[in-house]
Amino acid sequence: MVRITLTNLRKTFGEVIATDDVNMVLEDGKLSTLLGPSGCGKTTLLRLIAGFYVPDKGRIFFDDRDVTDLPPNLRNTGMCFQSYALWPHMTVNDNISYGLKIKRVQGMKYTKSAIQKRVNDALELVQMTGLGDRTPHQLSGGQQQRVALARALVIEPDVLLLDEPLSNLDAKLRHEMREEILRIQGELGITTVYVTHDQIEALSISDMVAVMDKGYVQQYAPPREIYDSPQTLFVADFIGKCTFLDGEISGLGETLNVRLPDGQIIKGITPLDGYPFEMNEQVRCAVRPEDLHKAPTSSQDNSISGIVEQVIFVGSNVEVHFSVGDILATSLLPPEADVAAGSKIQLYAPPLQMMILPKGGVDALRKIPGHPLYASGE
């Protein structure tokens, strides 16, 4: 198990910036997830950690050891690919033992019986005992994924790297395998880096989540903090659902005042400590749909008026889509809520649940002293 430190990492392909200004510490024994849409740079970052790519700039440390220039085979990492990458002509046993046999060729003293014992232990760990003589085409997708995971673990790596390992599975299998990966990672306590574009997957399994977009890490924090206190509009929009209300700063202080285009005043706080808001600055208010209520919880609550556009029953709640002037917004109300399309609606949100965020994404983060991206903007 190791702590992974990434310092000022940058990787380009021609004129395309795949990832840039990455500064993170992935803690020893934790499961850290790289989350973002296709093309955001998460797989590039994983491959930099694995050693498949060499950064244009920056360093990678495993504990205090600089591994930036080491090839993959000298980093002692185990990798599980999206495509599983199992040898179709080999049995499960042979697929799993392949890495151990390569190490044996390179001079490590693995006897045949020692190799088979470790393979058996790996099969037991992924709950595949007794299936070692099968070939990949005789296995289900979930079983193939377990074999790929066993192959990565059998070499006893310091770091486990998982590149969208569940994307080829159906919803039920994805849920089952998430539980399995959590169980195995917990049992072994191995430092794990997990790549996914699935926000639910990331929030449910991770100790830490790095939300990426266009090559930059926009926020790196525990899942609860990512959801409750997104630091950019992209993070707020990508993680869960958010209702956004555009306006301009009309009052500064511990609580910020924002004037909406129709004249309503919204009071809220910013999750972005240290950002230098200015009067009349164009900002966006973000509130989770479940934090908009039909009745106030206190006299300090924001009151938001609008016209109901659509009501959608989603089981345990109803989604109410409403307009505030030209702005479309969403609230999640109890199923018994008496609302109808075309009617006026009055909703309330506590200031602590109304997040005030600057526009600009990464450019906004560069204005915050002490932020990992601050120095790069100088």
Q: Which CATH number is 293's domain given?
A: 2.40.50.100
> Is residue 21 within a helix (H) or strand (E), and if so which, with residue range?
strand 16-26
Residue whose token pair is 């190791």: 2
Q: Write 93-98 long-range contacts (CB < 8 A, 24+).
A: 93/119, 93/132, 93/133, 95/136, 95/147, 95/151, 96/122, 96/123, 96/132, 96/147, 96/150, 96/151, 96/154, 97/154, 98/151
Q: How many other CB atoms are there within 10 angstroms of residue 353's CB atom?
A: 19
pTM: 0.88
What DSSP assignment string belongs to 246-304?
EEEEEE-SSSEEEE-TTS-EEEEB-SSTT----TT-EEEEEE-GGG-BSS-SSTT-EEE
- Which of 205, 228, 251 is the last residue before a domain boundary? 228
Q: Tell whether 223 and 311 lie within a shared domain.
A: no
| pLDDT above 90: residue 211 | yes
pLDDT band at residue 108 under the 50/70/90 scheme: low
Q: What is the mean pLDDT of the chain?
A: 91
Separation of alpha carbons 197 and 124, rounded Å: 29
Q: Tell whether 205 and 244 lie within a shared domain.
A: no
Q: Tell whether 237 and 277 lie within a shared domain.
A: yes
* Closest among 18, 14, 113 to 58, alpha carbons compared: 18
Q: What pLDDT score was predicted for residue 234? A: 95
Q: Tell whether 194 and 274 lie within a shared domain.
A: no
- Which of 180, 209, 228 is the last residue before a domain boundary? 228
Residue whose token pair is 């994924």: 145
Phi and psi, residue 319, nearest 5° = -90, 120
Q: What pLDDT score was predicted for residue 24? A: 95
- Which of 183, 201, 228 is the last residue before a domain boundary? 228
| pLDDT above 60: residue 209 | yes
Separation of alpha carbons 129 and 162, rounded Å: 22
- What does the angle CA 288 – CA 322 – CA 235 come to, to the nearest 5 degrees? 30
Are 149 and 126 in contact, with CB atoms under 8 Å apart?
yes
Separation of alpha carbons 259 and 251, rounded Å: 9
Q: What helix, strand, coil percent values describe the chain, rounded to 5?
A: 30, 30, 40
Q: Tell whether 16 and 145 lie within a shared domain.
A: yes
pLDDT tens digits, one per residue of 20-62 = 999 999 999 999 999 999 999 999 999 999 999 999 999 999 9
Q: Tell whether 71 and 173 lie within a shared domain.
A: yes
| pLDDT above 90: residue 373 | no
* CATH number of the domain residue 129 falls in: 3.40.50.300
- Structural domain total, the chain: 2
Q: What is the dihedral of CA 53, 9, 224, 352, to 10 degrees?
A: -150
Q: Of residues 224 and 169, which shows the higher confidence score?
A: 224
Q: Tell whether 126 and 258 lie within a shared domain.
A: no
Across 49-58, 95-104, 230-239, 263-272, least confident range: 95-104
Q: What pLDDT score was predicted for residue 377? A: 44
Strand pairing class (302-313; 318-324): antiparallel
Query: What is the mean pLDDT of the segment spanning 134-144?
Result: 90
Separation of alpha carbons 202 and 142, rounded Å: 19
Residue 324 backbone class (left: φ over 0; alpha: ψ -120 to 50; beta: rest): beta
Q: Tell whether 213 and 262 lie within a shared domain.
A: no
| pLDDT above 50: residue 378 | no
Q: Tell whether 292 and 224 lie within a shared domain.
A: no
pLDDT tens digits, one per residue of 61-106 = 999 999 999 999 899 999 998 887 888 999 999 999 988 877 654 5
Tokens standing for residue 228: 């409750």
Residue 228 backbone class (left: φ over 0; alpha: ψ -120 to 50; beta: rest): alpha
Q: Tell whether 47 and 189 lie within a shared domain.
A: yes
| pLDDT above 90: residue 321 | yes
Task: Tell me the Cα Rg of the chain.
Answer: 25
Q: Tell whether 170 and 54 lie within a shared domain.
A: yes
Facing residues of 272 across strands? none
Q: Tell whether 237 and 223 lie within a shared domain.
A: no
Structural domain of 334: 233-377
Separation of alpha carbons 304 and 247, rounded Å: 13
